[in-house]
Structure 1
Amino acid sequence: MDIGIDQINAMLRASSVAGDANATVEERRAGMLATTAVMTALETVEISEATLGGRPALAFRSPSAVAGKALLYLHGGGYVIGSPETHRGIVSHICDAMGANAWSLDYRMGPEDRYPAGVDDAVAAYRELLETHTPGDVIIAGDSAGGGLALASAMKARDAGLRMPAGLVLLSPWTNLNQVGSSYDTKAEADLMVSREALNWYVDQYLGADGNTDDPYVSPACGDFTGMPPMLVQVGTAEMLYSDSVAVAERAGAANIAVTLECWPHMPHVFQAFYPFLADSRAAIARIGAWGAAQLNR
């Protein structure tokens, strides 16, 4: 049953673990798993355990999938929390809407395995997909930190000489770990999911004391967009990371890359995940599916 954005915001205010500065890594991971349990997967999509690029993954087989079309999904969670399990619901809906089978990668995260482990895992997964798929039959997608990872891994794959995928889908992507952009201040009060304190904590866990937030594979909004594939960027106007999405779209356009930036009014961070409750979330997923299908069938 649909509820309004005001009720979604009330739910976010009541959620404590993600915003608790004293919560441990384990508590934050458990909190995200519990929160996403209500985001159920499509019953018609078959989900099974798999391995991709030497890492565990979940494989999604949709009845709507066109043979040979693939989605590589990189989950969000600040490079520290989250997993294919927390994102099985949203991935099932996106791949079904796109008409593609999907792999959701369990890439390595901090603090156990800091940068560049996650980027290396994502590139290895894409490289393995290319053994059985043409690049034009693959979309790479991700939300929040996973959106940043999708962009960074595409840049690293390009720099390694790999052909680019058909497109990138970036949902509320965290693409500049320096936290620059006006929205980090202007949207701070409106954003009920993200704060500077939380972002600083995730950066510390992901990079460690010697990390370089200017590294383009860490903050891909600072990188070279030459030769990148077409991009779809969706972002809510009520989130601190709004500026990151705008920066990506501007840099992509300046590099003559086809980019579609969708700014959804009043929507929170990764609002697509609220598809059980919000019509706008389902509409956004439908647009992702249509855009992805168009890229895969060019």
Structure 2
Amino acid sequence: MRSQFLLAVLLALASTLSAQQPPQTNSSVLDANGTAHITRVIPVPTTISSEAQTSLRRPADAEHQTRAERRTTTDAWQTRAGEASRKAYPVNIESLTIANVPVRNILPLEDKHPDHVLINVHGGGFNSDSGSFTESIPIANLTHTRVVSVLYRLAPEHPFPAAVDDTIAVYRELLKTYKPAHIALYGTSAGAILTAEVAVRLKQLNLPLPAALGIFSGMGDFSQNGDSWSMYALRGLTGSLPVAGTQPRSTEYTGTTDPKDPVLSPLYADLHGMPPTLFITSGRDILLSGTGILHRAFLRSGDDARLIVFEALPHAFWNDISLPETKEAYGYMADFFSQRLNR
């Protein structure tokens, strides 16, 4: 009896240990609906920098924060990351209010283009600020151009179209000083989405469009998720990966607006005549599909739209200035804006 008990304990222990081991084989089974149930072993690729390989080996941070906790931790991180960015890309920073909207005024140490301005709308899921420093400081330094980062009102307290309205208010005010041919608008993640939304709304209002757009890891359709949304988390292949379709769609930002509203979801807008636009994404970006789909919509409309896809890296990787790929990405962004505004 005792030996049978010990054998049962050992078998149970072995089963537990086996369950804790990651799978070592690939498998894929399609169910009746065509949904793929996949077990896939994906090593860290050698096609990226050693620094990026190290980054991919790090597990995701703790998730399931409250909104207040997310804002607190994101603000603290953005301050630290902004300081690091400023050491690598020296600039001067001011806090201003333009058209009653708070902004960060990022000034290059040598302003070679005083008649030019870049407008940044930061990322952060529309409910926090994860980019007003990190998205603006390197670009101001590299382009030698003023960057105004709009601190638009956040959701869910201020759902769509509050962020669009705030950005357009700043844009209108800057039009009093700068020619539209000397203005560019860009953003990452939520800011990339907002960039396209603002451009569509400017066209509806018959306001002159800026000379260039930068849509860096975004999308243009709130009515449905792209394929990459089912495969990746914010940190790529680490972190919470809920089964697609099992979670209710968030309406924090969209509110009661129709998901196919052409401003909220520019994929359904008339995109003909959009400014030249640079799209950037990466191979493990949760918004890889969204970026690619919107890029193709610009192409179908006859617009000048170019797309750069970085290998293997997760969503908005360029917020990590330690990566060589980040330096490369900033270079593409800065060169694109400089070329368009200096014509």
TM-score after normalising by structure 2? 0.78
2:321 is equivalent to residue 279 of structure 1: no
- Aligned partner of 1:146 in structure 2 is 191
User: Aligned runs of 1:21-40 on 2, under 5 Å?
Assistant: 23-36=65-78, 37-39=80-82, 40=84
Identity rate of aligned residues, in percent?
26
2:137 is equivalent to residue 95 of structure 1: no
RMSD, aligned α-carbons = 2.4
Distance 1:143-1:27 versus aligned 2 partners, 3 A rule: same
Question: 8 Å contact 1:147–1:175 — kept in the other structure?
Answer: no
Select the structure of larger CA radius of gyration. Answer: 2
Which of 198, 210, 224 is residue 270 of structure 2 equivalent to?
Answer: 224
- Alpha-carbon distance in structure 1 between the residues aligned to 2:55 and 2:286: 17
Q: CA deviation at 1:56?
A: 0.5
- Alpha-carbon distance in structure 2 between the residues aligned to 1:252 and 1:162: 19
Question: 8 Å contact 2:135–2:187 — kept in the other structure?
Answer: no
Stretches of structure 2 that go unaligned for 5 or more consecutive residues are 1-48
Question: 8 Å contact 1:194–1:240 — kept in the other structure?
Answer: no
- Aligned partner of 1:243 in structure 2 is 289
Q: Deviations over 1:195-228 (max 9, x none)?
A: 66999788322133x3322112222233221121
Question: Which range is displaced more, 184-193 or 70-79?
Answer: 184-193
Distance 1:96-1:246 versus aligned 2 partners, 3 A rule: same
2:85 is equivalent to residue 9 of structure 1: no
Name the amino acid aligned to 2:197.
A
2:303 is equivalent to residue 257 of structure 1: yes
Which of 200, 203, 206 is residue 158 of structure 1 equivalent to?
Answer: 203
Distance 1:14-1:193 versus aligned 2 partners, 3 A rule: closer
- Aligned partner of 2:167 in structure 1 is 122
Question: Structure 1 stretches (4+) deviating beyond 3 angstroms?
Answer: 186-203
Distance 1:179-1:78 versus aligned 2 partners, 3 A rule: farther
Question: 8 Å contact 2:126–2:253 — kept in the other structure?
Answer: yes
Question: 8 Å contact 1:191–1:269 — kept in the other structure?
Answer: no
Q: CA deviation at 1:107?
A: 0.4
- Alpha-carbon distance in structure 2 between the residues aligned to 1:198 and 1:120: 32
Stretches of structure 1 that go unaligned for 5 or more consecutive residues are none
Q: Does the residue aligned with 2:187 lie in a helix, a strand or coil?
A: strand
- Alpha-carbon distance in structure 2 between the residues aligned to 1:143 and 1:197: 25
Question: 8 Å contact 1:192–1:268 — kept in the other structure?
Answer: no
Which has the higher relative contact order, 1 or 2, with Cα contacts under 8 A spaced 6 or more apart?
1
2:70 is equivalent to residue 63 of structure 1: no
- Alpha-carbon distance in structure 1 between the residues aligned to 2:340 and 2:296: 21
Distance 1:113-1:201 versus aligned 2 partners, 3 A rule: farther
- Aligned partner of 1:41 in structure 2 is 85
Q: CA deviation at 1:5?
A: 2.0
- Aligned partner of 1:134 in structure 2 is 179
2:241 is equivalent to residue 211 of structure 1: no
Distance 1:195-1:186 versus aligned 2 partners, 3 A rule: closer
Q: CA deviation at 1:71?
A: 0.6
- Alpha-carbon distance in structure 1 between the residues aligned to 2:230 and 2:76: 30
Name the amino acid aligned to 1:4.
E
Q: Does the residue aligned with 1:132 lie in a helix, a strand or coil?
A: coil
Aligned residues: 288
- Alpha-carbon distance in structure 2 between the residues aligned to 1:173 and 1:194: 20
Q: Does the residue aligned with 1:9 lie in a helix, a strand or coil?
A: helix
Q: CA deviation at 1:138?
A: 0.5
- Aligned partner of 1:52 in structure 2 is 98
Q: Deviations over 1:37-79 (max 9, x none)?
A: 2342325311001112320001011034312110100001111
- Aligned partner of 2:225 in structure 1 is 180
Q: Deviations over 1:118-173 (max 9, x none)?
A: 11111111111111000010010100011010110011011101111010011111
Q: Does the residue aligned with 1:67 lie in a helix, a strand or coil?
A: coil
Question: 8 Å contact 1:191–1:239 — kept in the other structure?
Answer: no
Question: 8 Å contact 2:236–2:315 — kept in the other structure?
Answer: no
Q: Does the residue aligned with 2:85 lie in a helix, a strand or coil?
A: coil
- Aligned partner of 2:42 in structure 1 is none
Distance 1:33-1:9 versus aligned 2 partners, 3 A rule: farther
Q: Does the residue aligned with 1:203 lie in a helix, a strand or coil?
A: coil
- Aligned partner of 1:72 in structure 2 is 119
Q: Deviations over 1:257-286 (max 9, x none)?
A: 1011000011111111111x1000111101
Name the amino acid aligned to 2:297.
R
Q: Does the residue aligned with 1:50 lie in a helix, a strand or coil?
A: strand
